[in-house]
Amino acid sequence: MTAGAKCGTILRKTKKVGASASPHAQSKEVNSVSKCPMGSLCCCADAESIRVFILDWRCFGISKVQHQLNEEINDKEIRLIGEGGEQMGIVSGEEALRIAEEHGLDLVKISPQATPPVCKLMNYGKYKFEQSKREKEARKNQHVVEIKEIRMSPGIDVGDFNTKLKNAQKFLSDGNRVKVSVRFRGREMAHTDIGRDLLNKFADLCTEVATLDKAAKLEGRSTIRVKFLKDDMTQSGDFSIIKIDGNKYGKIDFSRGLIRYASDRFLDIELVTNTVTGLKIPLSAIESKDFYVIPAEYATTDPDSGSVGFNKISKDSSGNNVRTFINATIYGKVKIESDDDSADEAYNYYVDRSAFKEGDAIVKDDSNQRFIVGETDSLEGVYCINQGYAVFRQVDILDQNEEYAIISSNTSYGLSRYDRIARDSSQVKEQDILY
């Protein structure tokens, strides 16, 4: 058996390019011939059969529908959403129509299948005009970010190297990301430092058009699953690298079950590698969005509504400090990394930028300690359309290829099974009506 492995690095264009199909999860076993991850702790055959456990997905198309408006809505009760997206509770249809008339707005049913149906207050004519304008502009400027892979061998010659370098630079200039990998075979695994030097050289030559997203590293694991094709028996073994007569070999130790093969001189096996479980979504659904970063310790709860928000401090006409509760939408919660192992865990909230202006001051509930809003960071996410309108949801990407990503399920601010999402994020904006 010839051992094989790879190490890789990822480049992306310096210019930020915004880049989530409804995952109906059903466990599915897929067999395919593919490359395997490696490192000092795994090996694979040249043409192995890889078994990957993933979750099936289904995409729901977004169609243009005729919404029920104003007097056309005859439901006894509806769930009402304000013009700014705020929840106004469950009211009667007559009451909702009266509120719409008072504010000079239209009452639009955005989710007729919900119980009760969901309606929103808006200027419907203005919405249709802006939607049409956005669609026209999106079609004009649409660009889907792709991940292009460049593969090399440790012994690549200068001509092939320069050709692959030019191709990578072109991909990056077009706004795409590039993944560069070096695959090792057989005795090449004893010289993985050559691959690392090759990748570092490649990245240095791309610095004018790109930044390094992930440094070169060997990928692998300390245990590996093996399927014995003779009787379809699968079990895990401990993997190690051994040296014999100056050569390095991969060794897999099993603690049970191999007595059945004692009379066999050769065995056909499959290596089960890179197993990732989660929700599968197309990369075209994923978008990067900027948020204000605010320490979670500054969050407070409104005693009347129970909503989580922040106390904004400002001056009144007399120059006195006034606290105002801001019911800001929180899109993510990220742990703050610390070098001090003894320190308590701390988190940052990722808050909708429309809730504050740069320079706004917020204070803790029980003190006058202030935090000045201004720091921003981005989250990757998708537009969830469960309620008939687009809501940004954070995604945690576990693994991905050129077309799809596997993301964590049931996270605090993320997706769950059976959620419905927009397949093409470039065609969607926050609070767009999509049904």
> Do 43 and 188 fall within a single domain?
yes
Does residue 150 lie within any of the structural domains? yes
- Give dist(CA 310, CA 365) in Å, integer: 8
Alpha helices in 178-282 (DSSP H): 192-204
> Do 40 and 104 fall within a single domain?
yes
- Give dist(CA 231, CA 268) in Å, integer: 10
Instruction: Print pLDDT tens along the chain (435 aa).
Output: 333 334 444 454 443 333 333 333 333 333 333 333 332 223 333 333 333 332 333 333 333 456 788 888 888 888 888 888 788 888 898 888 998 898 889 888 888 877 888 888 988 888 888 878 877 776 665 555 567 788 888 888 888 888 888 888 888 887 788 888 887 654 565 677 788 888 888 888 888 788 887 777 665 445 677 888 888 888 877 777 788 888 888 788 877 778 888 888 888 888 776 567 789 899 899 988 899 999 999 999 888 878 889 999 988 888 888 889 998 889 988 888 766 665 567 899 999 998 899 999 999 988 888 999 998 988 889 999 888 889 999 998 887 777 888 888 877 888 888 889 999 888 888 888 876
Does residue 432 lie within any of the structural domains? no
Does residue 116 lie within any of the structural domains? yes
Selection from 312, 345, 344, 348 nearest residue 332 by Cα: 348
Distance of alpha carbon 100 from its chain centroid, rounded? 38
Does residue 402 lie within any of the structural domains? no
Does residue 350 lie within any of the structural domains? yes
Does residue 13 lie within any of the structural domains? yes
Instruction: Decide: 299 and 293 in contact? Cβ < 8 Å.
Output: no
- Give dist(CA 132, CA 316) in Å, integer: 42
Token pair recorded at residue 366: 């029980």
> Do 210 and 78 fall within a single domain?
yes
> Do 291 and 277 fall within a single domain?
no
Strands 269-272 and 118-122: unpaired
Does residue 102 lie within any of the structural domains? yes
> Do 91 and 73 fall within a single domain?
yes
- Give dist(CA 108, CA 388) in Å, integer: 11
SS3 405: strand
Domain boundary among 261, 282, 303: 282
Long-range contacts of 160-165 (CB under 8 A, 24+ apart): 161/202, 164/202, 165/202, 165/205, 165/206
Selection from 338, 340, 334 nearest residue 375 by Cα: 334
> Do 295 and 370 fall within a single domain?
yes
Half-sphere exposure of 97 (CA within 13 A, CB side): 13
> Do 156 and 180 fall within a single domain?
yes
Q: How many domains does the chain have?
A: 2
Does residue 303 lie within any of the structural domains? yes
> Do 300 and 190 fall within a single domain?
no
- Give dist(CA 144, CA 147) in Å, integer: 10
The torsion region of residue 232 among left (phi > 0), alpha (psi -120 to 50) and beta comes to left
Q: Which residues of 345-363 are buried (b: 16+ CB within 10 A; e: fewer)?
A: eeebbbbbeebbeeebebb
> Do 307 and 188 fall within a single domain?
no
Alpha helices in 242-306 (DSSP H): none
- Give dist(CA 202, CA 357) in Å, integer: 42
What's this model's pTM, rounded to 2 decimal places?
0.43
Token pair recorded at residue 55: 């979750």
> Do 175 and 119 fall within a single domain?
yes
Selection from 223, 228, 220, 161 nearest residue 189 by Cα: 220
Q: Which residues pair with 92 in a beta bridge?
A: 77
What is the domain-level CATH number for residue 122? 3.30.110.10
pLDDT number for residue 150? 85
Instruction: Decide: 327 and 262 in contact? Cβ < 8 Å.
Output: no
Question: In Å, what is the CA distance from 197 to each residue of 5, 194, 216, 395?
Answer: 16, 5, 9, 33
- Domain holding 24, by residue range, is 1-221+273-282
> Do 97 and 202 fall within a single domain?
yes
> Do 174 and 296 fall within a single domain?
no
